[in-house]
């Protein structure tokens, strides 16, 4: 039986239900003892059929434990131990509440533990957890397709494959493009990020650290300039039309001098670069790519892993430009935190793949799909879209005021983004491209973004930096209220003013 539609609500569980001083979850009580609390006999009590005593540690001891047993390849902003997420807030094991402007890197678009999504997942957990997708259909898998079909940015996108992570879905898109065209080459863009696996990492161009020392990666990859001034070696004041002209020129050179167009299977682009610095792609460039692809029988892949599900103000970012991708990749916001990703393309293309060439043990997991269905129910009320429009205007106004201010304007190279995928790029004393337009001898300090981030963290506002340039990004859940946004704006403003004052 398919689940019937549940009532939706923009906000998650009312705040009053959680006491700030106590640890909220039974399982958390089992694992964490704080200095203020008596240690619980935890697992022993919760699972009486085992005589293994549960280690009980303080929060600090758990953090030590984590540092000792998790390798340094996994970087981490801070060693807080988080035990609960509620709407816009993360709650630490010590009961501290953090205002989360990361949303798990653009994943929990409906806020932490949205009641509609969590209820759907809980209901699914008691009926069917796993139905391997190469054996039979699961009801939530089909139901999710039914929910997504009407909101696809183009009606030709009618055939789906679900996987777990964004990187896996990117690899599925590459496989589809190669099998469907019989060609090998993939064109990607400078500053692009598509994942860290051997295939997706091969087309990632945002930072060398993601693949450094791990090659050889997947072959047949060619990178060209993105219409972003850093990518083209021009200043931040360069007009958009000129950026587009230059990027088109670089692509033309690539297809004349490096790889013949009839050998290219696909071009893959993020409509707003994420890890590359939250750089929206001008619609004119996207339409140029469409024309080049059509001319040469190349498939155009839109990577909407980070931009999808209203992050940029529309269900999918390509709607802003009206671009029709041949393949679209999605993940992150689709199931509000449950691991789920996918590709969508036209059936005629998908059916060119050999039977069995796509699949994966957990691909399209039933609980993740049920969470995905519930997430779409909430998105499709229209409340999220309206909130993104209002809150992004509030945020951009505040950031532009910082750029216009004589106190702080000299620190900022550019404010950019779309919807609630928002960033501030700071000037870098070591990078002349970022210094253009400044009065001579203006002092620009180093590492502004990191200092702003640190100031915010000290006031319980969590933000992320991004790209190899000095950029800070703001990606709150799309349910963020006016008051929460104002609270964050006040902290961010004070943080930038503080760096300007200290120099």
Ligand X SMILES: Cc1ncc(COP(=O)(O)O)c(C=O)c1O
Give me the residues that bind ligand X (CB under 6 A), please.
105, 165-167, 170, 193-195, 270, 274-275, 303, 305-306, 331
SS3 of 22, please?
Answer: coil
What element of type H or E holds 414? strand 412-418
Nearer to ligand X, 305 or 350 (CB): 305
Residue 166 or 277 with smaller CB distance to ligand X? 166
CB–CB of 430/488 below 8 Å?
A: no
d(CA 492, CA 486): 10
Coil/strand/helix, residue 266: strand
Task: Name the minimum Å distance from CB 192 to ligand X.
Answer: 8
Nearer to ligand X, 193 or 379 (CB): 193
- Least spacing, CB of residue 107 vs ligand X, in Å: 8
User: What angle, 0 to 180 degrees and rounded to 10, lies between the N-to-C axes of helices 366-379 and 383-404?
Assistant: 70
What is the smallest separation between the CB atom of 42 and ligand X, expressed in angstroms?
A: 32
Partners of residue 464 on adjacent β-strands: 473
Name the pairing type of β-strands 341-345 and 412-418. unpaired
The least CB distance from residue 400 to ligand X, in Å, is: 25
What is the C-alpha separation between 276 and 467, in angstroms, rounded?
5
Whichever of 304 and 377 has its CB closer to ligand X, that residue is 304
Q: Which is nearer to ligand X, 148 or 444 (by Cβ)? A: 148
Q: Which is nearer to ligand X, 86 or 304 (CB)?
A: 304
Nearest distance in Å: CB 47, ligand X? 32
Q: Which is nearer to ligand X, 111 or 166 (CB)?
A: 166
Least Cβ distance, residue 341 to ligand X (angstroms): 6
DSSP state of 143: H
CB of 223 to ligand X, least distance (A): 15
CB 303 within 8 A of CB 329: yes
Alpha-carbon span 330 to 157, nearest angstrom: 13
- Residue 115 or 417: the one with the smaller Cβ distance to ligand X is 417
Q: Which is nearer to ligand X, 166 or 372 (CB)?
A: 166
Q: Please say whether the beta carbons of 18 and 92 come within 8 A.
A: no
What is the C-alpha separation between 103 and 88, in angstroms, rounded? 8
53/321 Cα distance (integer angstroms): 59
Output 378-384 pairs: Cβ under 8 A, ≥24 positions apart: 378/8, 378/9, 378/10, 378/110, 378/114, 378/116, 378/117, 379/110, 379/151, 379/309, 379/310, 379/315, 380/147, 380/151, 381/8, 381/10, 383/8, 383/10, 384/10, 384/109, 384/110, 384/310, 384/478, 384/479
CB 88 within 8 A of CB 11: no
- The residue among 424 and 475 lying less far from ligand X, judged by its C-beta, is 475
Spell 105-123 as b/e; 16+ CB within 10 A means b: bbbbbbbbbbbbbbebbee
- Shortest CB 338 distance to ligand X, Å: 12
Say how many Å lie between the first and final Cα of the chain, rounded: 63
Q: Which residue is nearest to ligand X (CB)?
A: 166
CB of 334 vs ligand X, minimal distance in Å = 11
CB of 339 to ligand X, least distance (A): 8
């Amino acid at each position: 039986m398919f689940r019937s539609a549940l009532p939706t609500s923009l906000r998650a569980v009312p705040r009053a239900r959680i006491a700030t001083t106590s640890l909220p979850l039974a399982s958390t009580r089992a694992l964490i003892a704080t200095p203020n609390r008596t240690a619980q006999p935890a697992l022993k009590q919760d699972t009486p059929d085992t005589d293994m005593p549960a280690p009980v540690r303080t929060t600090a001891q758990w953090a030590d434990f984590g540092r000792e047993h998790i390798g340094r390849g996994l970087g981490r902003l801070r060693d807080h131990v988080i035990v609960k997420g509620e709407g816009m807030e993360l709650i630490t094991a010590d009961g501290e509440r953090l205002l989360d402007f990361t949303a798990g890197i653009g994943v929990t678009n409906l806020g932490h533990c949205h009641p509609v999504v969590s209820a759907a997942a809980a209901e699914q957990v008691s009926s069917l957890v796993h139905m391997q997708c190469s054996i039979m259909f699961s009801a939530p898998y089909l139901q999710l397709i039914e929910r997504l079909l009407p909101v696809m940015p183009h009606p030709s996108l009618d055939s789906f494959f679900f996987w777990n992570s964004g990187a896996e879905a990117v690899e599925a898109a590459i496989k589809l493009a190669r099998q469907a065209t019989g060609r090998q080459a993939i064109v990607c863009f400078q500053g692009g990020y598509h994942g860290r696996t051997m295939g997706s990492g091969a087309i990632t161009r945002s930072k060398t650290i993601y693949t450094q020392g791990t090659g050889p990666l997947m072959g047949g990859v060619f990178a060209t300039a993105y219409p972003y001034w850093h990518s083209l070696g021009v200043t931040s004041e360069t007009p958009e039309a000129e950026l587009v002209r230059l990027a088109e020129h670089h692509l033309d050179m690539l297809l004349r001098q490096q790889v013949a167009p009839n050998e290219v299977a696909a071009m893959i682009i993020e409509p707003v670069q994420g890890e590359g610095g939250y750089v929206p792609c001008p619609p004119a460039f996207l339409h140029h790519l469409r024309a080049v692809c059509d001319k040469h029988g190349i498939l155009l892949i839109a990577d909407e892993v980070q931009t999808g599900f209203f992050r940029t103000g529309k269900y999918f970012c390509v709607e802003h430009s009206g671009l029709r991708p041949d393949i679209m990749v999605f993940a992150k916001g689709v199931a509000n935190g449950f691991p789920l990703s996918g590709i969508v393309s036209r059936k005629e293309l998908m059916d060119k793949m050999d039977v069995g060439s796509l699949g994966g043990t957990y691909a399209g997991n039933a609980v993740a799909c049920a969470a995905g269905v519930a997430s779409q129910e909430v998105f499709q009320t229209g409340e999220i879209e309206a909130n993104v429009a209002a809150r992004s205007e509030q945020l951009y106004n505040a950031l532009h005021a910082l750029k216009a201010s004589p106190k702080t304007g000299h620190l900022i190279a550019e404010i950019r983004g779309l919807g609630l995928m928002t960033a501030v790029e700071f000037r870098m004393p070591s990078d002349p491209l970022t210094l253009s337009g400044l009065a001579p001898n203006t002092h620009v300090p180093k590492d502004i973004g990191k200092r702003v981030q640190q100031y915010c963290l000290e006031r319980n506002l969590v933000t992320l930096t991004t790209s190899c340039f000095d950029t800070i990004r703001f990606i709150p859940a799309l349910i963020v209220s006016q008051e929460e946004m104002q609270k964050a704006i006040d902290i961010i403003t004070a943080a930038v003013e503080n760096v300007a004052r200290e120099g």
